[in-house]
Amino acid sequence: MRLAYLYEYDASNPAVQSSRPFSILRELKRRFEVVEYFPVSNVSRRLLGPKKLLHAVLGAEHHLEREWLSLKEYAWRANAFLAREKPDAIFSPSQIIPTYLSSSAKLIYCNDAPFGAIANYYPNFSNLSAEYVKQGYRQEYLSHRNADHIVYPSEWARDCAVQLHRADTRKCSVQSFGANLPYEPSWAQVNEAIDRRKGRQSVVLTMISSDWERKGGPFALAIVNKLNDRGIVARLRVVGDAPPNLERVEALGRINKWTDEGAVRFRNAMFASDFVIMPSIAEAYGMSLWEGAAHGLPMIGRATGGITSIIKNGESGLLFSMDAKPDQIARWVEECLSGSAYRQFCECAFEEYRSRGNWKTFVDRVFGGG
């Protein structure tokens, strides 16, 4: 199959969108003849810059990617590319470019969550201008109408699309996104790491964080403090952003997993951890939980957004409620470590990763195995 891959940003850069577009592209190229068009140029967005500034002066957030002129320019450029390449199918890891595409080829796109689910949910996607909200709902409706198949990674996102944007349930499917890793951990490696963790005198909770506050960093640290209050030596390991000089926090900073050195650092950090934790205040999905599961780490997460479709509570980890207290999670960690349950959680988390939390499975199920 000849597949066109379209994206408004640079899908060859692993730093874009937490590596999701890059990882999908890499897997697609293993199966199909892929013709690429990214980043798709857009002069209109630059010309509309003063409009964004005007809304800011008026006290509102206004983004430009859903402006009619911007969407039309994307379509004009992409349609010219499609006319030349004549693909059998089109894929985009975003809902933006598909809005006004015109092609006889089957159009598939994926998105972690629709516009209406994110608006006023993420702290940095709040206080939106009324005009932008109107544009967002209109654009999402048009992309749904134009596409042949829309893939969401969670029931929460799919249901929001149906309820908020009148999405056709026959077009929508739910398929887990995957761990963004440059290597494939083996069961032998995971099993060995689990054996090494047994009998250790300390506990490490690891959080992969691009946003300390939204990802629930203070809550994760509160859990660590409660564990120490209970006589368990614990610390929080943070891969990504964390405030400096926090007691009981091991801040590793951002690690580029896609370099040889970064891959080794990341793998060592994860295999030397005991749990992966994501107590996010808001989370469209939570792919980094799969990165923990890939290393045999039980997953701990707050029941919000797409996280609810990742963790199987009581099997692959703990899915705690929005009103749960740090001491409750600390008690669960202590109980999990006290008997044979810990290994079972580790094994289940890894099996969940192998069966659904990887990009090979995503491509198999979305494209029918090639």
Task: Provide the residue-wise pLDDT of the chain in tens; the chain has 370 residues.
Answer: 999 999 999 999 999 999 999 999 999 999 999 999 999 999 998 899 999 999 999 999 999 999 999 999 999 999 999 999 999 999 999 999 999 999 999 999 999 999 999 999 998 899 999 999 999 999 999 999 999 999 999 999 999 999 999 999 999 999 999 999 999 999 999 999 999 988 788 999 999 998 999 999 999 999 999 999 999 999 999 999 999 999 999 999 999 999 999 999 999 999 999 999 999 999 999 999 999 999 999 999 999 999 999 999 999 999 999 999 999 999 999 999 987 899 999 999 999 999 999 999 999 999 985 4
Evaluate whether 350 touches 292 at the Cβ level (below 8 Å): no
Q: Which of 356, 243, 249 is nearest to 293 (CA)?
A: 356
Q: In the chain, what are the domains? A: 2-174 (3.40.50.2000), 187-355 (3.40.50.2000)
Q: Is the four-CA dihedral 211, 177, 312, 346 of positive or negative sign?
A: negative
Q: Which of 263, 342, 260 is nearest to 299 (CA)?
A: 342
pTM: 0.96
Q: Which of 8, 4, 75 is nearest to 40 (CA)?
A: 8
Q: What is the pLDDT of residues 310-352, one digit of tens each?
A: 999 999 999 999 999 999 999 999 999 987 899 999 999 999 9
Q: What is the pLDDT of residues 117-142, one digit of tens each?
A: 999 999 889 999 999 999 999 999 99
Q: Is the four-CA dihedral 135, 138, 140, 143 of positive or negative sign?
A: negative
Distance CA 2, CA 33 (A): 5
Distance CA 122, CA 111 (A): 16
The predicted pLDDT at position 370 comes to 46
Structure tokens at 269: 């950090």
Distance CA 23, CA 13 (A): 10
Q: Which of 185, 198, 209 is nearest to 267 (CA)?
A: 185
What is the number of alpha carbons within 13 Å of residue 166 lying toward its C-beta?
8
Q: Which of 225, 328, 206, 327 is nearest to 278 (CA)?
A: 206
Q: Which of 263, 291, 261 is nearest to 276 (CA)?
A: 291
The predicted pLDDT at position 340 comes to 85
Which secondary structure element, helix H or strand E, spans residue 173, and what is its range? Answer: strand 172-174
DSSP state of 113: S
Question: What 3-state DSSP class applies to 42?
Answer: coil
